[in-house]
Amino acid sequence: MAFVKNQKTRAYFKRFQVKFKRRRQGKTDYRARIRLINQDKNKYNTPKYRFVVRFTNKDITAQIISASIAGDLVLAAAYSHELPRYGLEVGLTNYAAAYCTGLLLARRVLKMLEMDEEYEGNAEATGEDFSVEPAETRRPFRALLDVGLVKTTTGNRVFGALKGALDGGLDIPHSDKRFAGFKKDEKQLNSEVHRNYIFGGHVAAYMRTLMEDEPEKYQSHFSEYIKKGIEADDMEALYKKVHAAIRADPTVVKSSKPAPKEHKRYNLKKLTYEERKARLIERLNAFNAAADEADSDA
Amino acid sequence: MPAGHGLRSRTRDLFARPFRKKGYIPLTTYLRTYKIGDYVDVKVNGAVHKGMPHKFYHGRTGRVWNVTKRAIGVEINKQVGNRIIRKRIHVRVEHVLPSRCTEDFRERKKKNDQLKAEAKARGEIISTKRQPEGPKPGFMVEGATLETVTPIPYDVVNDLKGGY
């Protein structure tokens, strides 16, 4: 290898300031976090709740979290992998599933705080902008939307989850500018289009076009839907049932599996000094043995 | 042109962030709560430009007299001429630390209360007063051998060996 000038000298490393760990991992936006967590000092220990929505490749996580010096505390959580319990088995990361997850979280929190009778929210999911009205006795549960590192374009699924939580009865400051179906030209939300998205209408439309034009792709893309026997026309009724089931019983079901005594190890265990020395001796012996063989052969 | 005497004059190093600690400030500063009557240290954080106190107050400790949305009112003593004035300033929370000056006192209070409660249970009376360090106790010196030193008569011949 040609001589390459060492670009990162010892001096470079000595002066290097690492970013915060979660920034290095690319998971936390501290600029947003500071502004979400900062509580007025004259409100002392009153918690400020964030409505956190995160998407993975196969799951949606919605949580209500308050911050503390020891670590954030999760008040309630809802995952889209719980939705099979309410009758939705496929499409667990689409806009409609996000709506269901947000709705589930909202009903769960309100039930936990015994506010669910007062704040029914919007039982009928029209796509219109709905904000909770404060009732007589208690003020509504207020949380602030925390999107994380997502690009907040119009029609993003986080706003689907937001709509679910709003219809569930939470008080989250928002505007309808980013809901699916908002037209920038008219500066108005087309609630029909939004309602379509909430009930998976966009998925159903794609299913129909694929069935007509490319049946093989339809078979491969929507294989799970076909296995469960869900057609494009069933979608709206299915989601209506899921919404009703969620409102009926949003309580958490604890998993019946017993907690494993030892936790599975996900990374390699670091060797001790003795183990590393022993390994080195083994490798040297093996190397010498191989060298002796090569000598005796040649 | 002479150097000015502006608000932040001569603070190039004082308000500078320490080595390898630049950028976003850790969130604990925002999560702490302060009540009226707490003791706080004022330590300016150069990364936050709003609500900075004057450089005089950097390093001073005072009591909280007011709590607002993002800032705290601190009462600090300042010597002006031949008297000490209690000055009231408002400082944003990023420039304030909870003071540990009363920590020792509070620990001692807790311990004393505990000791007194235990003594009461036993029926004794104890004194929890702090005593200053007294003189060291007496002790016997160990392993000392006695060496008696006596003068020897002056011997001219031996002593002039070197330079005779």
Non-local (6+) Cβ contacts of A167 within 8 A are A99, A103, A106, A121, A122, A125, A130
pLDDT at residue A259 in the model: 76
- Say yes or no: B27 contacts chain A, CB-CB below 8 A: yes
Please give the span between the terminal C-alpha atoms of chain A, in angstroms, as a whole number.
29
Cα–Cα distance measured from residue A246 to residue B139, given in angstroms and rounded to the nearest whole number = 83
3-state secondary structure chain A: CCCCCCCCCHHHHHHCCCCCHHHHCCCCCHHHHHHHHCCCHHHCCCCCEEEEEEECCCCEEEEEEECCCCCCEEEEEEEHHHHHHHCCCCCCCCHHHHHHHHHHHHHHHHHHCCCCCCCCCCCCCCCCCCCCCCCCCCCCCECEEECCCCCCCCCCHHHHHHHHHHHHCCECCCCHHHCCCEECCCCEECHHHHHHHHCCHHHHHHHHHHHHHCHHHHHHHCHHHHHHCCCHHHHHHHHHHHHHHHHHCCCCCCCCCCCCCCCCCCCCCCCCHHHHHHHHHHHHHHHHHHHHHHHHHC
Of the partner residues B20, B30, B72, the one whose CB lies closest to the CB of residue A17:
B20
Cβ A162 vs Cβ A132: under 8 Å = no
Residue with tokens 């499409």: A91
Is any Cβ of chain B less than 8 angstroms from the Cβ of A31? yes
pLDDT tens by residue, A43-74: 999 999 999 999 999 999 999 999 999 999 99
CB-based contact, A3 to chain B, within 8 Å: no
Share of chain A above pLDDT 70, in %: 99
The pLDDT value recorded for residue A266 is 83
Residue A292 and residue A294: Cα distance in Å, rounded?
Answer: 5
Asked whether the beta carbons of residue A40 and residue B93 sit closer than 8 angstroms, the reply is no
In A, which residues are within 8 Å of B71 by CB distance?
41
B20 touching A, CB under 8 A?
Answer: yes
pLDDT of residue B3: 84
Low-confidence ranges of chain B (pLDDT < 50): none
Name which of A252, A230, A209 is nearest A96 in CA terms. Answer: A230
Q: Do B33 and A38 touch (CB under 8 A)?
A: no
pLDDT of residue B160: 65
Q: CATH number of the domain at B14-96, please?
A: 2.30.30.70
Residue B161 pLDDT: 64
The packing angle between helices A235-248 and A201-213, to 10°, is: 150
Average pLDDT over residues A231-247: 92
Q: Write down the pLDDT at residue A137.
A: 85
Give the Cα separation of B22 and A170 in Å (integer): 38
User: Which of 90-129 (B) contact A at CB < 8 A?
Assistant: 93
- Residue A136 exposure: Cα atoms within 13 Å on the Cβ side: 1
Burial label for B144, CB within 10 Å (0-12, 13-18, 19+), is: exposed
Contacts of A86 (CB under 8 A, 6+ apart): A100, A104, A242, A245, A246
Domain boundaries, chain B: 14-96
Residue A142 pLDDT > 90: yes
> Which run of H or of E encompasses B96?
strand B96-98
- Is A269's pLDDT higher than 90? no
**Interface residue B71 vs chain A (CB under 8 A):** yes
pLDDT tier for residue A295 given thresholds of 50, 70 and 90:
confident
Residue-level length of chain B = 164
- Total CB pairs under 8 A between chain A and B: 47
Q: Is A17 within 8 Å of B35 when comparing Cβ atoms? A: no
Mean pLDDT of the residues in chain A: 91
pLDDT score, position A297: 81
Whether A33 and chain B come into contact, CB under 8 Å, resolves to yes
Classify residue B143 by its DSSP letter. Answer: S
Quick one: pLDDT at residue B157?
A: 66
* Whether the Cβ atoms of residue A62 and residue A52 lie closer than 8 Å to each other: yes
| Chain A residues inside the 8 Å CB shell of B67 | 41-42, 44
Q: Which residues of B touch A73 (CB under 8 A)?
A: none
Whether residue A17 and residue B33 make contact (CB cut-off 8 A), yes or no, is no
A37–B35 CB contact, under 8 Å? no
Residues 68-97, chain A: which have Cβ within 8 Å of B?
68-69
- Is the CB of residue A64 less than 8 Å from the CB of residue A78? no
- Cα B30 from Cα B24, distance rounded (Å): 12
Of A37, A40, A41, the CB nearest to B27: A37
Q: Give the angle subtended at the CA of B29 by the CAs of B24 and B32, to the nearest 5°.
A: 155
Residue A31: pLDDT band by 50, 70, 90 thresholds? very high
Tell if the CB–CB gap between A41 and B27 is shorter than 8 Å: no
Q: Do A34 and B20 touch (CB under 8 A)?
A: no
pLDDT at A256 (0 to 100): 77
CB contact under 8 A, B20 and A40: no
The most distant pair of C-alpha atoms in chain A lies apart, rounded to whole Å, by: 96
- What does each C-alpha distance from A7 to A3, A12, A13, A17 come to in angstroms? 12, 9, 11, 17
Instruction: Tell whether A187 lies on the interface with B, counting CB pairs under 8 A.
Output: no
Name the pairing type of β-strands A144-146 and A182-183: unpaired
User: Chain A partners of B96 at a C-beta cutoff of 8 Å?
Assistant: none
Q: In this structure, which amino acid lies at residue A211?
A: M
- ipTM, 2 decimals? 0.76
Using one digit for the tens of pLDDT, what is the confidence trace for A39-51? 999 999 999 999 9
Q: Which of A18, A40, A41 to mutate to test the interface with B (most CBs of B within 10 A)?
A: A41
pLDDT digits (tens, 9 = 90+) for A155-173: 999 999 999 999 999 999 9
The answer to whether A51 touches A62, Cβ cutoff 8 Å, is yes
Domain A16-248 has CATH 3.90.180.10: no
**What does DSSP assign to residue B16?**
S
DSSP H or E run through B84: strand B83-92
Looking at CA atoms only, how far is residue B131 from chain A in angstroms?
A: 38
